[in-house]
Structure 1
Amino acid sequence: MTSIGGAEMVDWKLAVATAARLMRPGPEVTRDEAREVVAELRRHAGASEAHVREFTLMRPAGAAAATPVLVVDRVGWVKANVAGFRAVLGPLLEKMQSRRAGVPGGAVLGVVGGKVTGVELGMLLSFLSSRVLGQYETFAPASPELPGGDNGGGRLLLVAPNIVHVERELEVDPHHFRLWVCLHEETHRTQFAAVPWLRDHIEGEIQTFLAETELDPATLLERIREAVQSLAGGRAPEDEGERGGRSIVELVQTPVQREVLARLTAVMSLLEGHADYVMDGVGPQVVPSVAEIREKFQQRRATGAGRLDAALRKLLGLDAKLRQYRDGERFVRAVVDEVGMEGFNRVWTSPNTLPTKAEIAKPADWVARVHGKTDG
């Protein structure tokens, strides 16, 4: 493990243990009910492949089409994400280790150490572990417990207890809801399986973002302190100027990182919005109660579970995630209405045909740039 000052920067095992200790209990189900949920989710995931590919006209080929679908519990989701974090953050942690000597304030990180960092990461994952219904893991190192696709390919996770919890909370048909969730997540699997360059492009952007990380602990602590003061009411929202309303994630950034984040935000808005568009487009054909599910789910997504939940979403930048679903779906719908599904699919041609953050907000600008069409 990467370490600083003789102490591990991140104690990954402690992160998993902390999350497991703090996470909420799942819904009460019998052993037979649990088996049936797992079996049904697997069936729906398989059925979703054909529905999504027919609707999107996207055709995965070769080994990329064989990424595994795993039905997991909350601890399994945490373990998978810790493995992903460890893989993605490895280069940054190595760089911080090599620059440890002589860095002003570097001793602070040595004192804090990996135990504290592991606990903090575990607390974050415990919060998220009860909220994620499914996830396509783009960077998924394989293990005996959590297999991945060939040649570093991803895997699709379906978090069974969370799906059961939400379907009960919304009081919707459980069989319809499970298929609806699988349609969304299968769309993500299809995106990466049918667009071979997409994974490497996103990974390159993430590594560029991490390479620009300011390694001066004093600067880092100052930015975190500024974020905390803002969230604690140290400044009134109207006095925050350019940084008003930013999450802690956004505040700990350099100008170059903000440029990278803008590009990543556009890509994630596209991917999430496309998945929402597809599951609602396919839905009426195979999910009779899709309109009811969508209405109730949108209300739940927007309101969260209370004031504490809203504060944590703000702190972690999860409000931006909600905007990605909304803005991305609006972009996809507008483009498909204008140039059809095949015309929209030109978005997957290369990184140059991905929409910019500005084009997500103004789909006509993307159509004009890529298709040479204008409203006139």
Structure 2
Amino acid sequence: MIRKSVWLSVAAFLLFSAAKSGNADQVFGYETELDVVYGTGKIAPDGIQTERELRMDVYSPSAANADYTKAASVSDGPHPAVIYVHGGAHHRGGRRIEPFRLEAAVHSRPEDYARLLAPLGYVVFVIEYRLATEYPEPALAPGEGNLIADVDAYITPQVFEATVRARNAMGLPRLENSPEDRLYLWKAGLAGAEDANLALEFVIENAERFNIDPERIAMGGHSAGGGITLNVGIGMDAPLAAIFPLSGPNILFEHEAVMDHPDLPPTLLAYSQFDEHTQLSDLPGVVSLLREAGVEYSLSWIPGFAHFYPHNAVSLGDDGTRMSLGDRIISFLDVHLGSK
């Protein structure tokens, strides 16, 4: 009888805890909807092509603690939206990951950016995309749709070696830098961009469901996610109101073709002082592209950090401002999306 009472007490506690945890996020200014399927993508991990579902987590503003940092209430909507794309050398990462530590830095996770922005009135979509280890099959081939025809122009020796380091950290076999291996990496880069663009299309098509304004959508991400953001916002000329690629590499598209795109989105670039050689060597070309295309852009630096850094790290802007990276992103989004 005592044992039965104990089990009933435990069950009641678990039910109570589950009920509370379901609403716990509202206390912090946001609500979550997890594992939302936004489309499918072709993969061939065993040499046999199949399709897998692509998912996103949705963080929406909650009136329970609305906009606490501004002492004002978040409107009923429609809200501005942000699509956040994780990094990981196109080999690792996801919507929910453990804190990543390297060289005394604790890197902010995708969900950290969502929890930063959602209480301020933004609906944040943290997406996953097909990774290289899944052998994704993108819809386009090199040279199609303004894509760079020469795979080696994108998969440079620096890009290849940076990817090898990531693979080594994951315990994966070393690539041989053969044409087949370089095409394998190129496909992963393009597949990630196609998936992020598909996520954007899904969000626009479901604007009413998520209570967002389809004309006020931004995209951002770090490292590979930054490159994907540049590919979608600049290379694919997607209907984005703003982008914030963090430590992103060059794009997969021919620069001269991209320059003809009208109304490319305002861009906030951020790189760290000791960033990857690949990103830093690509930076002048990215800046030149934005300038010649007439894009409104700003460039900020995170001093003292390598490739990984938290969103509360100090950033130095090209306009002489000094603030945390998170505050800089918020300020940028408020200007171009107008959080309400």
- Scaled by the length of structure 2, the TM-score of the pair is 0.26
Structure having the higher helix fraction is: 1
Whose strand proportion is higher, 1 or 2? 2
Greater RCO (Cα-Cα under 8 Å, separation 6 or more): 1
